[in-house]
Amino acid sequence: MGILHEDVVIIKQTEKEDEATVITINCPDKTGLGCDLCRIILFFGLSIVRGDVSTDGKWCYIVFWVVGKPSTRWSLLKKRLLEACPSCSSANTLIYYPPELLPPKPPDVFLLKFCCHDRQGLLHDVTHVLSELELIIQRVKVSTTPDGMVMDLFFITDTRGVLHTSKRKQDTYDHIKGVVGDKMVSCDIEMVGPEITACSQGPPFLIPPSITEDTFSLEMLDQCQRGSQHSNSVSVNMDNSLSPAHTLIQIVCRDHKGLLYDIMRTLKDYNIQISYGRFTTKGNKDCEIDLFIVQSDGKKIIDPSKQNALCSRIRMELFRPLRVALVNRGPDTELLVANPVELCGKGRPLVFYDITLALKMLNIDIFSAEISRHMIGGREWEVYRVLLDEEEGSCVPRTRIEEAVWSMLMGWE
C-alpha cells in the first residue's frame, strides 16, 4: 500500500472563525502514534474538538477537527506531523516500541544564558519567544538580584535540530532582544551534555504530598470529584461484550486542554493499541470518547486486575493531569506545578508558558523559577517551582492565584 508523501498529512483550513480546521493523517501505524500527534497539536496551541481514528493493524487513518489561534503556522504544523508519521516502507507490520528495548536518542541540549534588567512579564515574554522558535525548555533556573537584575538559565533542545549553527543562534538572540530591548545586558548559547537534564532520584526537597502523591484510591478519587472546586467528574468504563476482538473503553468527562493527549499518552505508556476510536465534544464542556483497543499481543484485556489498573490510571490522569499547589517558604509563597513524564522521556508541552502567562495576567512578578525532573512513586515527574515576588500590600488571594494557574493549564480561562 502506498501514498504520496504530500498526502500523508492534509490540512483543510476553515474559512470561518466559528468552524474547525480539519487535519487528516493517512500513514503506517505504530503504537503511540496518536499520542505523538496529539502532543504536536497541543504544542501548537490548538484544541481538538472532534477526532476519529481507525486502523487495520498496519495502516491507520486519523481525522482531527481543531480550533485555535489565527496565527497558527499551518505549514510548519504539517511538517512536524509528517515527521512523527512512520515511513510508508514500514506499512507491512505494526510497529511496537517497548521502551526498554528502544531507548530514544537524547537530543542535543543547549544552555541559553542571558542577563537583563527585570520588568513585569519578562519571563513569560521570553518563554513565548522560545515557544515560537520551537525551542523546548527542558530545565530552567531564574533568579533576581536585589538591584533588579535577572539571570536566566534555560536548558533547551531544538525541534529543528540546528541550534548549533551560527545562523540559528543569531536568530534566537535577535528574537530575545526584540522582547527584552535595551534592558538586555548579555546573551549566550552553548551546547552542554544531556546529563544536565537527567532525572533526580527521590522526591524533591520540601515538595508537599499534594504534589508528590502518585495515585488515589478509588474512594479518595470519588471524594475529590464530589468536593472539587474544578467540577471535573470523570467516568471510565470497560466492556468486552460488544466486540469479539476488542475491548471497548468509554470515557465521559469535562473537556480540558490536552484531553486527548492525556488519554493517548496513558495508553502509550501501557503499550495499548487503538483499533478504532471516536472523540466528540458536547457543547463547550462535556466530552465522550469511545475506544476499541487491544494489548501489544493483539488480544483483548481480559484480566480484571489489568482492566482495573488501566481504568484507574485513565481516570486519575483525566481528573488531575497536573498537580498545582501554593506553599509557604518562610515569609514567601512558592507555586508548585507537576506533571507526569511519558515513558519515552517527553514532557507535557507549554506548561511553563501557561504558568507564566497566568501570573502575568494577575500582575504578579516572579522572583525565581526552576524546572527539574524527579522520580516520585516509581514515575518520572516534571516539577515547576516558582517563587512569587509578592509586593507589600499585594491584594491577590492565594486561592485566586492557584485557581488562575489551574484554569490556564486546563484551558478553562
Phi (first) and psi of residue 246, to 5 degrees: -130, 155
- Name the band, by pLDDT with cuts 50, 70 and 90, for residue 198: low
Where do the H-state alpha helices sit in 181-296? Answer: 209-212, 218-227, 259-269
- Name the band, by pLDDT with cuts 50, 70 and 90, for residue 246: very high
pLDDT for 226 equals 45
Could you tell me which residue, 106 or 159, shows the higher pLDDT? 159
Kindly state the average pLDDT of the residues 345-352: 93
pTM given for the model: 0.87
Mean pLDDT estimate for the chain: 86
pLDDT for 101 equals 43
In the chain, % of residues over pLDDT 90: 62
**388: β partners:** 366
Per-residue pLDDT tens over the stretch 277-324: 999 987 667 899 999 999 989 999 999 999 999 999 999 999 999 999
Q: Check pLDDT > 50 for residue 227.
A: no
Neighbours of 73 (CB within 10 A): 12
Nearest to 32 by CA among 278, 296, 363, 402: 296
Q: Check pLDDT > 60 for residue 412.
A: yes
Count of H-run helices and E-run strands, the chain: 10, 17
Q: Check pLDDT > 50 for residue 97.
A: no
For the chain, how big is the Rg over CA atoms in Å?
A: 22
Kindly state the average pLDDT of the residues 152-158: 93
